[in-house]
Amino acid sequence: MVEQQKHFPVSWEELHRNAKALAWRLSETGPWNGIVAVTRGGLVPAAIIARELEIRLIDTVCISTYDHMQQREARVLKGFEGDGEGWLIIDDLVDTGKTATVLRKMIPKAHFATIYAKPAGRPLVDTFITEVSQDTWIFFPWDIEPQYSQPIIQLRGKA
């Protein structure tokens, strides 16, 4: 695993704006039977996209790969029935591709969309909004609280 060096905090407003931008892109490729939200990170984007695309049928796939900032082997806690034809898989982020690989095998015909994509996982998604470097750790609004942040120059040891 790449050592995370850069921090990218995402506000609720930014997340909403990017999820809505993802919905715009997905509206050009539908219609969709339903959404499969990847828990937990995909739940909020899936709700926004479901509203924007007027999709009422939402299921979940529950896969655990993270414990705070440490990645581990993917564990499927809840799967999905069917091959995913006409369905959207929505997640917040594709990182190393561990979760995405499991999803592609489990739901091979679904359209996989994320808000953020890192280079290692990017080839596994069909649609995304923003690409960030592999060494960036994204802090989603549900994971953070307002607090002091050191200036970048101090983090780099140049001050």
Half-sphere exposure of 103 (CA within 13 A, CB side): 31
pLDDT of amino acid 3: 54
Q: Which residue segments constitute the domains of the chain, with CATH numbers given?
A: 6-155 (3.40.50.2020)
Considering the candidates 83, 91, 126, 143, report the single residue annotated as catalytic: 91
State how beta strands 34-39 and 87-94 pair: parallel
pLDDT of amino acid 159: 61
Q: Is-catalytic flag, 83?
A: no
pLDDT digits (tens, 9 = 90+) for 131-153: 999 999 999 998 888 778 778 88
Say which residue the tokens 């190393």 belong to: 96
Residue 27 falls in which region: left (phi positive, over 0), alpha (psi -120 to 50) or beta: alpha
Quick check: 72 and 66 in contact, CB under 8 A? yes
Considering the candidates 92, 126, 135, 143, report the single residue annotated as catalytic: 92
pLDDT of amino acid 151: 85
Query: Which of 8, 55, 12, 10 lies closest to 36, judged by CA?
Result: 55
pLDDT of amino acid 77: 86
Q: What are the DSSP E strand ranges found in the chain?
A: 6-9, 34-39, 58-67, 70-78, 87-94, 111-117, 127-131, 136-139
pLDDT of amino acid 69: 59
Q: Is-catalytic flag, 59?
A: no
Considering the candidates 59, 67, 95, 135, report the single residue annotated as catalytic: 95
Q: Is-catalytic flag, 91?
A: yes
